[in-house]
Structures are given as structure tokens and as C-alpha cells.
Amino acid sequence: MSKPVIGVTTSQRSGWRIFPLVALNVWLAGGRAVRWGAGRPADIGSVDGIIIGGGDDISPELYGGHLMASARLDPARDALERRLVTEARAQNKPVLGICRGAQMINVALGGALDQDAYATHSDSRHYRTILPRKSVQVQPGTRLMDIAGPEEMRVNALHSQAVNRLGDGLRVAARDSGHMVQAIESTQEPFALGVQWHPEHLFYARRQRAIFAALVAAAHAARDNNSQLAAAGQAAAA
């Protein structure tokens, strides 16, 4: 059986250095990553799952917010990733969102963001590092708990925005000590998980590798299920 193929969206600014790290994590989990972005084809039908990567701010026009002077926007990327999230849900394909990607899952499903999250959550420690210095609490009864366990998790942090109002069919999967949302997930199939940190930098940590393994496993299962449905449809039409 061939490896599940995972489409990975990246920033035009930093994708050249981030994609190899994400691809390594996907490979370690038993999948094969292909890079998507500006000037690259992004067909949901050609992959078994997707990763919405980090970098860039999401335009507040997508959720009724106000533009901040410090925002770095990429409208073409916004449009691409919003389409991919909705198409993945419609075609029963799993999605993992990393940092901006978690926020995009939320926005694409009708949610909103807090553009100055550390001002709102003044008790949250403001780290900006790829090192695992931030503590987050995994919420009980969530898919993330099943994937990574219930213990407090040490992660990195590079974000200034965070999920505010949840999108349709989503729930909070982790928070930090100041109650800021650090992970979200779908309450139903297909698999959709968004983490506010960057697990691709933490490939040496078993619990972070487990996040990529869960995506690849879900992509494998979705591919098998979609193949069975297609075969059943062909048999019924014969």
C-alpha cells in the first residue's frame, strides 16, 4: 500500500525552510508530503490529507475583525487555505492546522480570532521561541488527549493571535495557564485538529510526533473509506 499523500500549505516568506521540517515529520509518521503555495497546484483530490502551515496573519475581513498595522497578510493564501479546509470537510479528508493553520480551520468554519490575544489574556506567558517553554493543558475527553495523553504539555510559541469564537463543529482541545485557546478540534469526522504551537520543530518529542502520526493514520483510513465508497458506487451503477 502506498504512503498517504499530505498536501502542505506554506508561507511565501518562510515556506522554503519550514516545509522540509514538516515533510520530515510526515515521513516519520509514514506519509509523503507535497508542498502547496503560490504558483503551485493545490488539488484536494490529489492528496489524502492536508496540513495548513504557519506564517502570515489571516485577513480580519474573513471574520469581521479590524486590520492591525502590524499584520502581515497574504490574501491569495487566505483564499486557497479557506477553500482547502471546506473542500477537505466535504470530501472526508483530514486536516491538521499548525499555528496560523489552526486559526484558519477556525475561520474557515465560521469562527473568529482575537488579534491581540496576549492583551486579552494578560495571565498568559508571552513566549516567542521554537523551544518548548510554554505549558498547555490538554482538555479531557478530546481527541488530542487520546493522541498525546492527558498530562500537561510543554510546547513552543510564536503567535500573537488566537482563536476567539469557535467555528461550527469545533471545540477547545487545549488551553494555556491564562485560559488562551492553544488547540481546537472537530467534534465529528473527518479528523480536523489545529494546534497553536509548531510541532514540526519538536520532532524529537514523542507526543509531538504523535500529532503527525494521527493525521497520517486518519488520511490512510479516509483513503480506504473513500475507495470503498467509490467501488460500491461503481458496482451499483453497473
User: pLDDT value at position 238?
Assistant: 65
Has 61 been annotated as catalytic? no
- Among candidate residues 81, 200, 201, 220, the one labeled active-site is 200
Supply the range of the domain harboring residue 35.
5-237
Q: Decide which of 231 and 196 is more confident.
A: 196
User: pLDDT value at position 150?
Assistant: 97
Mapped onto helix, strand or coil, the DSSP state of residue 115 is coil
pLDDT of 152 higher than 90: yes
Radius of gyration of the chain (CA): 17
Q: Which residues of 92-103 are buried (b: 16+ CB within 10 A; e: fewer)?
A: ebbbbbbbbbbb
Q: How many CB atoms lie within 10 A of CB 44?
A: 18
Q: Decide which of 93 and 70 is more confident.
A: 93
- For the chain, how many structural domains are there in total? 1
The predicted-structure confidence for 191-211, as pLDDT tens digits, reads as follows 999 999 999 999 999 999 999
- Among candidate residues 99, 185, 201, 220, the one labeled active-site is 99
Q: What is the CATH number of the domain that holds 79?
A: 3.40.50.880
User: pLDDT value at position 66?
Assistant: 62
* 187, three cell numbers: 467534534
pLDDT of 70 higher than 70: no
- Among candidate residues 121, 159, 198, 201, the one labeled active-site is 198
Has 200 been annotated as catalytic? yes
Instruction: Please state the rounded mean pLDDT for residues 160-179.
Output: 96
Question: pLDDT band at 69, cuts 50/70/90?
Answer: very low
Query: Which segment, 4-18, 110-124, 166-180, is predicted with the most confidence on average?
Result: 166-180
Has 66 been annotated as catalytic? no
